[in-house]
Structure 1
Amino acid sequence: MKEILDILPERISGMLSAVSPAKQAGIREIRLRREKPILLKTPDGEYGLNKTGLSRYDGEKFTRDDCERFWRRLTAHSPYALAVCGRQGYITIPGGHRIGLCGEAVIKENDIHLFKNVSSFLIRIAHQVRGCALPLIDRITYNSKPLSSLIISPPGCGKTTMLRDLARIFSEMGFNVCIADERGEISSGRDGIACLDIGPRTDFICGADKADGMNILLRSMSPDLIITDELGSAGEARAVLDAAAAGVSVIASAHGGSLDGILARPSLSGLFEAGVFSRYIILSDIPGRIKEIYDAEGRPLETPGAGRMVI
């Protein structure tokens, strides 16, 4: 939370500082929309923010001045911020926290060049929950080795937190783990060092396209397991196939609400048909709950702790 307090305008960071450390630790997202109430997402619902802390009914607005100050801080904070926003629509700050944004897109050569008049921000707060992946371990290992697995859920339901804990656990089990961490969210990397615990035998690449990152790790780091997030493109699917052909396990995530929804996406359905993933883990839309687990052929398995909150 310190990295976020440091970058927010003083008026807002002051209000957030009035929130107790225990409640701060539960904040998952902060939504800032110009001239709209500041909203914070926690495990027990949505709150506004005012001078006394969290409030169900009486939240302060994110003013035009707040918006301009925040944008200036973001662009000054990262010399690459505008370029990243032009390509992806988000900025990742130290600590692995991701800040998405909306505004007017400036088009250059039929592509988004940058954003101007930014009016909305979504701060997704990276956090570590040690042990949240333990209920999965028995279901995604065979002969004490990790099985290739795809973790599926809507945004904000704990996929990245689960991936981070799986990296830590398998690393501590003695496996060489490599993370293709395009946005720096899994490792929370800063200056080449992971800010969160990803294990003693884990290497990571930040900033590179996921497909390129996986290929580099496969060629150069002799991994037992590659972890990455938010698969979607054909190039990423090819990189996963290359890893599988080399005998390397891959644990990844994808946005979705069901296995059928994933199979409707051509790049991911191709991985299913190739039998790359031995397990498909569906998380509930309630953050941190394991809903269902399927095998490589789409048959449901007994779900450990089904419905139990693990994050």
Structure 2
Amino acid sequence: MQKHEKITDDLDLLLDILPQQISAVLRELDDSDNLLEVVMDLGRLPKARFVNREVVLSEQEITYDDIKAVTRSISEFDADNRAGIERTLHRISAIRNRRQEVIGLTCRIGRAVYGTSDIIQDLIESGASILILGRPGVGKTTILRETARILAEKSRVIIVDTSNEIGGDGDVPHPAIGSARRMQVAKPSLQHEVMIEAVENHNPEVIVIDEIGRELEAMAARTIAERGVQLIGTAHGNTLENLLLNPTLSDLVGGIESVTLSDEEARRRGTQKTVLERRAPATFDMLVEIQDRNRVAVQNDVSAAVDALLRGYPLPPEIRYRDEQNRIHTQKPVVPKISTAAQAVSRAGKRETMPFSRSTGNQRSEVGILAGATPPLALAEMETQPLKPINIFPFGVARNRLTQAAKLLNVPARIVRELKEADALLTLRRYYRERQQPIVEAEQRKMPIFVLRSNTSQQLEQFLVDVFNLASVEEISGQDRTVVDQTQAAIEAVLNGERWIDLAPASSTIRRLQHEMARQADLVSHSYGKEPNRHVRIFRE
């Protein structure tokens, strides 16, 4: 186990270039381990930002002289308005006015921390290309720097250092990168060219790059990976989903494209004819999301994770964390059995409920059920029997929309505020990926966890349709078949240009079916009027 030894790169060198009243307060605070950055804006009070707090450093506002005194003591600002102090990892970023005068400075504290990458060291040494994500300031560059040092002990490593954050300012790189070689970038817009130059000219086995943020850089990364070079990099974005929705960078994880399926394939999958699919193999083999300094989430197969995300059933990541004794723990993901909501909530009550008999309708739902064990309550009933109430604990889901959806479908869904009162937990996939406390507690209680793709009324209504096992077209026959045909004709009329169609008054059972048919056609439907004349209107969004 590596010992964690924090090295602040000559903090005194940074303090010496700051105004005296500011540096004096920082020395008195004596909290350099948690200091992130010092902010100086013209006409405002200077502030220090720590990990968990923000401190005003002086009651005197920053003047032009204060800013000029700092800028005279550092290197020249590059095209990206960043500068530094020779052979340190500190970064000074400028804010300019319209006359290109510097009127604000952000002084980021640079640190080399030995041992930070031990939490993913086995992944680094596996030879796989790894993409690191995380919010600003969480420690992506620190891990990247340590990764370069470790790999350079056994492999030929080239660092493409666009802003001198990895190897520090000046021509001689900081010793924290070990024997890795560093290529600087004259302009941020040329980063992709330097990436390709590194491969063509210097025969690296590993390339390390910070902040992949442009389409050309994403294309260069794919070229490097296809040449068999291990690539370790960071990108803008906190999660895999953020990256996938970013059209500039989605190619890093394979990209997405809209695909039109044949009628037969759409029926087989139980989806609409137009779906999203991964366009190409992912550039990176693995993805590491840094949640905080001592906790990461790992997707060991990026391509599989993207495929699952596009199908609405995100794969839970592997969680790794470091405890107070510096021991590393790994929580292996439990690959959930995905089924429809009605199947999950009916497992425990087979003696009391009718068997689940729907076939192709089962797969069309975009609601994933993650249930590690048998749910505690039998809830699903066929439409011909009274529906039993379900106590639902929504976590990260709009309660008002869920209430409206329950009212619209006329189902006895009860919204509870305590997890202990719930029969099931309803959440969004990004909350499930983050493994927050209610998710973990629900799993410990062996409670069904329903995961929605998005927080929309359509998703919530589809969830209720599945969880209450509402009637499908295949279950309607006889006299009600005429109503089904009329509904289908109304849907086709709206699809062909009609603004809306009002259907004939119908029972709550038929109205539920009509709402479901409209959803399948990507149309909107609402119920209007009072019983027994309550009817459904179908229209476009």
Query: d(CA) in 2 for partners of 1:293 and 1:271?
Result: 16
For 1:296, the equivalent position in structure 2 comes to 302
Give the superposition deviation at 1:277: 0.5
Between 1:155-164 and 1:27-36, the stretch displaced more is 27-36
Secondary structure at the aligned position of 1:151 is classed as strand
Structure 2 counterpart of 1:205, from 175, 183, 192:
183
Q: Deviations over 1:126-181 (max 9, x none)?
A: 10111111111223443xxx311111111111111010011111122x01111000
Query: d(CA) in 2 for partners of 1:76 and 1:165?
Result: 28
Q: Deviations over 1:106-131 (max 9, x none)?
A: 4xxxxxxxx22x33221111101111
Q: Which amino acid aligns with 2:320?
A: P
For 1:34, the equivalent position in structure 2 comes to 42
TM-score for the superposition, normalised by structure 1:
0.80
Is 1:280 aligned with 2:287? yes
For 2:478, the equivalent position in structure 1 comes to none
Q: Which has the higher contact order (CA 8 A, sep 6+)?
A: 1
For 2:96, the equivalent position in structure 1 comes to 103
For 1:267, the equivalent position in structure 2 comes to 248
For 1:4, the equivalent position in structure 2 comes to 14
Query: d(CA) in 1 for partners of 2:237 and 2:323?
Result: 18
Between 1:248-257 and 1:208-217, the stretch displaced more is 208-217
Classify 1:306/1:265 alpha carbon distance in 2 versus 1 (closer, same or farther; 3 Å).
Answer: farther
Q: Which amino acid aligns with 2:71?
A: L
For 2:200, the equivalent position in structure 1 comes to 219
In structure 2, stretches of 5+ residues that fail to align are 1-10, 255-280, 306-314, 327-541
Q: Which amino acid aligns with 1:101?
A: A
TM-score for the superposition, normalised by structure 2:
0.47
For 2:111, the equivalent position in structure 1 comes to 127
Secondary structure at the aligned position of 1:293 is classed as strand
Give the superposition deviation at 1:46: 2.3
Check the 8 A contact 1:291/1:306 in 2, yes or no. no
**Greater share of strand residues, 1 or 2?**
1
For 1:137, the equivalent position in structure 2 comes to 121
Query: d(CA) in 1 for partners of 2:242 and 2:322?
Result: 20
Check the 8 A contact 2:119/2:322 in 1, yes or no. no
Between 1:147-156 and 1:90-99, the stretch displaced more is 90-99
Is 1:74 aligned with 2:71? yes
Give the superposition deviation at 1:226: 0.4
Matched residues, number = 275
Q: Which amino acid aligns with 2:114?
A: R
Query: d(CA) in 2 for partners of 1:248 and 1:180?
Result: 14
Is 1:194 aligned with 2:173? yes
Is 1:16 aligned with 2:23? no
Secondary structure at the aligned position of 1:101 is classed as strand
Give the superposition deviation at 1:253: 0.6
Query: d(CA) in 1 for partners of 2:253 and 2:236?
Result: 15
Question: What is the Cα-based RMSD across aligned positions, in Å?
Answer: 2.4
Classify 1:73/1:139 alpha carbon distance in 2 versus 1 (closer, same or farther; 3 Å).
Answer: closer
Q: Deviations over 1:19-55 (max 9, x none)?
A: 43xx224311111223333222223422233xxxxxx
Query: d(CA) in 1 for partners of 2:138 and 2:219?
Result: 26
Query: d(CA) in 2 for partners of 1:291 and 1:42?
Result: 21
Classify 1:205/1:290 alpha carbon distance in 2 versus 1 (closer, same or farther; 3 Å).
Answer: same
Check the 8 A contact 1:281/1:290 in 2, yes or no. no
Indicate the structure (1 or 2) with the bigger Cα radius of gyration: 2
Give the superposition deviation at 1:220: 1.8
Percent of matched pairs sharing the same residue:
26
Q: Which amino acid aligns with 2:249?
A: L
